Amino acid sequence: MIITVYIGAVGRSGTTLLERTLATSPRVTAVGEVVHLWNRGVRDDEPCGCGDTFLNCAFWTKVGVEAFGGWDRVDLIQLDLDRAIVDRNRYIPYLLLPQLAPPRFRASQGRLVDVLGNLYRGIAAAGSETGGDFIIDSSKHPSYLFLMRRVPGVDLRLLHVVRDPRGVAHSWSKRVMRPENGAPMEQLGSVRASLRWLGHNLLFELATRIGVRSERLPYEAFTADPTVLARSLDRLVPGGSPTKLAIVSRSITLGVDHTVSGNPLRFAAGSVELRADESWRTSLSKRSRLTIGVVTTPFRQLWARP
């Protein structure tokens, strides 16, 4: 079985740095947000975290050959259709209870899990060449997690990262450009950001309740003491010697990772100082704080504890 640790979180929860910190362990093959691999990698040939474009990257070329005999053998049009039919949060009930799903959904899901089974087999094979014995996928989306539960050969674990919703909402309010193509990233107001924070985190909680092996990690616990990550990982994937991460005090020595998507930090290499981004404390309006408080209480307090 291919152990895959899925980082589940609402967007803007700091998961790119967290994933890259985990990737400093030689046991880990960290591949970024695989949910975006088909469009941003295979179709648009955006840069991999290593700096090469996706189709020129040696790691992803190996994955493509191992999984499909080459990326050009993948039917991207069919895949796009199938993903639109299956991989949406509103269809999670069908992913939970496939017997209720219409035949068209079941056919699309069948094709998708076959493709993903091959993909993760390819990633595991390419990663094992450098000593990786499990995969970290920071796709974050709830529906993709529930889809991954259905992928044959994948032993799924969930690292559920919860950041303070005030920090998340503040980040969603900022205008940020994607370095890959210069396009602005999505922005959300505090009502929508709070609702998304609540909805996504409840779905990860649901995954835990139905038996996905999980660890919840408050993002603020990681920024206070990054070594908590190694302990979370050892509880999620027990059996090896204790995980060692390249952390000295608050400095993390990042290597080169073949991440397909994520925030601009995925291109950083070398020493990075860990700083808690607490700018919301001074720049979030009273009105936004009140809105966020109304929507997210009492879960904010509940999930702030590991």
Q: Which residues bind Zn ion (CB under 5 A)?
A: 48, 50, 57, 59, 258
Whose Cβ is closer to Zn ion: residue 57's or residue 159's?
57
Whose Cβ is closer to Zn ion: residue 120's or residue 204's?
120
The least distance separating Zn ion from the CB of residue 259, rounded to whole angstroms, comes to 8
CA distance 170 to 173: 5
Side by side, the strands of the sheet bearing 2-8 are: 28-30, 134-140, 2-8, 154-162, 213-218
Whose Cβ is closer to Zn ion: residue 45's or residue 205's?
45
Q: Which two tokens stand for residue 167?
A: 């920090």
- If phi over 0 gives left and psi between -120 and 50 gives alpha, with beta otherwise, what is residue 140? left
Distance from chain centroid for Cα 156:
13
Strands 251-254 and 247-248: antiparallel
CA distances from 55 to 41, 45, 63, 75, 112 (A): 7, 6, 11, 16, 22
Whose Cβ is closer to Zn ion: residue 57's or residue 145's?
57
CA distance 179 to 110: 35
- If phi over 0 gives left and psi between -120 and 50 gives alpha, with beta otherwise, what is residue 213? beta
The least distance separating Zn ion from the CB of residue 57, rounded to whole angstroms, comes to 3
Whose Cβ is closer to Zn ion: residue 23's or residue 156's?
23
CA distance 266 to 291: 32
The least distance separating Zn ion from the CB of residue 53, rounded to whole angstroms, comes to 9
The least distance separating Zn ion from the CB of residue 272, rounded to whole angstroms, comes to 19
The least distance separating Zn ion from the CB of residue 68, rounded to whole angstroms, comes to 18
CA distance 289 to 300: 12
CA distance 237 to 258: 21
CA distance 16 to 23: 10
Residue 241 phi, psi dihedral angles, 5° rounding: -75, 160
Whose Cβ is closer to Zn ion: residue 19's or residue 82's?
19
The least distance separating Zn ion from the CB of residue 117, rounded to whole angstroms, comes to 22
Whose Cβ is closer to Zn ion: residue 50's or residue 161's?
50
Whose Cβ is closer to Zn ion: residue 82's or residue 257's?
257
The least distance separating Zn ion from the CB of residue 73, rounded to whole angstroms, comes to 20
- In sequence order, the β-bridge partners of residue 273 are 251
The least distance separating Zn ion from the CB of residue 274, rounded to whole angstroms, comes to 24
